[in-house]
Chains A and B, each alone.
Chain A
Amino acid sequence: MKYKDYYAILGVERAASVATIKKAYRTLARKYHPDVSKDPDGEAKFKDLAEAYQTLKDADKRAAYDQLGPHAAGQDFAPSRDWGETFHREFGGEQQSFDGIDLSDLFANLGRQRAAQPVTGEDFEVTTTIQLEDAFTGREVTLNLNMPVFDNAGRVRREAKQFMVVVPKGATQGQRLRLRGKGGPGANGGRNGDLYLTIKIAAHALYRFDGHDLYIDLPLTPWEASLGCVVEVPTLGGMVNLKIAPGTIAGQQLRLAKRGLPMSPSHGELKSGDLFAIVTLVMPPVLSNAESALLKQLADISTFDPRKHFDQENVCA
């Protein structure tokens, strides 16, 4: 196993008091916590900090660590036979081989044997990205996790494991699923940890989404909006005809009921979200001479002023 200098990680002397160690941990933890650190190595540094703190704040574990003797950081080493006999006797459990375990697991194992208290398994948080169409129909996703596994002697190792989870239809952006007991195994009779799955829905070329509701931009020409018409609108369940009433304006939201994402049965009688078509008015990028002439004619005869509210009297000085 590779040696880690826990004192150097925390930036304290080997004779530092518990209070000094605690203060050093708090300062560095705030700096490297994964939720705030912009350091690309922040998460790994935080993990090392937490590991160092958990060992050095415990008098017995600290004593065991100190007895490993001085080594260079990163150096390959193995605890002596005497060390193994002494500390496994003190903490309980049998002398074990140190093959295939690392320093963090070594002290975690010691703590587990000494405490003989139920230890809850590790929780895992995973994000999976699905397509909007998958949220509409539901799909299976495969998760790959590095799970801790205990052998008969209670030693922990990491093994790659795959889980298949069915994401039911109606999943929404950011929705979270808790899978009880599907995290790391517990120890000493402790419960297994949980797996938390966060759903992300990939951006869609046509639709935007908010919860179970979908939004689509509906481009209309000014004459379609003014005179009214029927247009085809794509939904996740196929094309539908939408009647545009005369006098429809830009920005208006036209509701296509129950054409959004389906809801789970726990939502009661509501079965689906809605699809909202947001009207945008679009002019042809290039006008023919005849089209230009007609528009000029309209401009000459119309008295409509869309900027009437810009009247100076209504503007504060």
Chain B
Amino acid sequence: MPNAMPNSIVDHRNTMWLDPSQFVTLAELMQISGFTEHDIRDFVDIGVLVPAASSAVQPEFSAACVMTVRKAGQLKADLDLDQNASVLVITLLEQIRSMECDMGRLRALLPVFRRL
């Protein structure tokens, strides 16, 4: 195994950075998360998911939300959660993500003490 040659080089046409500069369609988000169209439209109506401003008839979402929604879908499947619980999960996961970003920013600003 350590000497095995890589048997696949990934074609980057099928790759997507999951950040705010990229977008996913409603159908893709359903496919990734396992939620139905009804579930996702419900999340939008409640306000836990916000479609991208440029959305036309079918909503598009920032790719940055993919991991949150996917995780919520996994937890729903693993723990047999209902829709209300899924809403709470998405809300809390987004808060955690936001706090992790803030912490990263604050850590970057903290000087490192060096004894010369």
Identify the closest chain B residue to A215 (Cβ): B108
Q: Does B56 have its Cβ within 8 Å of any Cβ on chain A?
A: no
B84 is an interface residue with CB less than 8 A from chain A: no
B8→A177 contact, CB < 8 A: no
Residues of B within 8 A of A213 (CB): 108
A residues 151-179 touching B (CB-CB < 8 Å) = 160-166, 168, 173-179
CB distance from A236 to the nearest CB of B (A): 15
Indicate with 1 or 0, residue by residue over B1-40, a CB within 8 angstroms of chain A CB atoms.
Answer: 1001111111010111111011000000001100000000
Scan residues 176-215 of chain A and give those whose CB is less than 8 A from a CB of chain B.
176-182, 191, 194, 196, 208-210, 213, 215
CA distance A209 to B9 in the complex (A): 29
Distance from B115 Cβ to chain A, minimum over Cβ atoms (Å): 8
| With contact pairs A35-B75, A178-B15, A280-B111 given, residues A196 and B67 touching in the complex (Cβ less than 8 Å) | yes
A180 touches B79 (CB 8 A): no
- Tell me the bound Cα distance from A223 to B89 in angstroms: 54
When distances are taken between beta carbons in the complex, the residues of chain B under 8 Å from A144 are 1
- Chain B contacts for A26, CB-based, 8 A: 79-80
Which chain A residue lies CB-closest to B9? A164
B15 and A162 contact, CB distance less than 8 A: no
A160 engages B1 (CB within 8 Å):
yes
Instruction: Say yes or no for B66: interface residue by CB 8 A criterion.
Output: yes
Chain A CB count within 10 A is highest, among B14, B63, B108, for: B108
Q: Does A271 contact B (CB under 8 A)?
A: no
Determine if A134 is an interface residue (Cβ-Cβ < 8 Å).
no
With contacts A174-B100, A208-B108, A215-B109 taken as known, whether A162 is within 8 angstroms of B22 at the C-beta atoms is: no
B17 x A266 contact (CB < 8 A) = yes
- Using CB atoms, name the residue of chain B closest to A164: B6
A101 within 8 A of B: no
In the complex, whether A282 has a CB less than 8 A from a CB of chain B is yes
Most A CB contacts (10 A, CB to CB) among B4, B32, B78, B100 go to B78
Q: Separation in Å of the A53 CB from the closest CB of chain B?
A: 9
Chain A hits for B46, CB < 8 A: none
Residue of A whose beta carbon sits closest to that of B100: A174
A194 and B32 contact, Cβ closer than 8 Å, known pairs A161-B7, A164-B9, A215-B108: yes
Query: Cβ of A103: which chain B residues have Cβ within 8 Å of it?
Result: none
In chain B, what residue has the closest Cβ to A217? B111
A308 within 8 A of B: no
- Name 28 interchain pairs, CB-CB below 8 A, sorted by A: A30-B79, A50-B78, A120-B31, A163-B7, A163-B9, A164-B8, A164-B9, A164-B10, A166-B12, A176-B17, A176-B66, A177-B18, A178-B15, A178-B16, A178-B18, A178-B32, A178-B63, A180-B14, A181-B14, A182-B8, A196-B18, A196-B70, A208-B110, A217-B112, A266-B21, A267-B21, A278-B111, A285-B116
Sort A-B residue pairs by CB-CB distance and give the 7 closest, nearest first: A210-B108, A164-B6, A208-B108, A176-B18, A266-B21, A180-B14, A162-B6
Give the interface of A toward B (CB within 8 A): 22, 25-26, 29-30, 33, 35, 46, 50, 120, 142, 144, 160-166, 168, 173-182, 191, 194, 196, 208-210, 213, 215, 217, 219, 264, 266-267, 278, 280, 282, 285
If A179-B14, A217-B111 are given as contacts, then 10 extra A-B residue pairs at C-beta distance below 8 Å, sorted by A number, are: A25-B80, A30-B79, A50-B78, A160-B4, A162-B8, A179-B10, A182-B10, A209-B108, A217-B112, A280-B111
Residues of B within 8 A of A (CB): 1, 4-10, 12, 14-19, 21-22, 31-32, 63, 66-67, 70, 75, 78-80, 100, 104-105, 107-112, 114-116
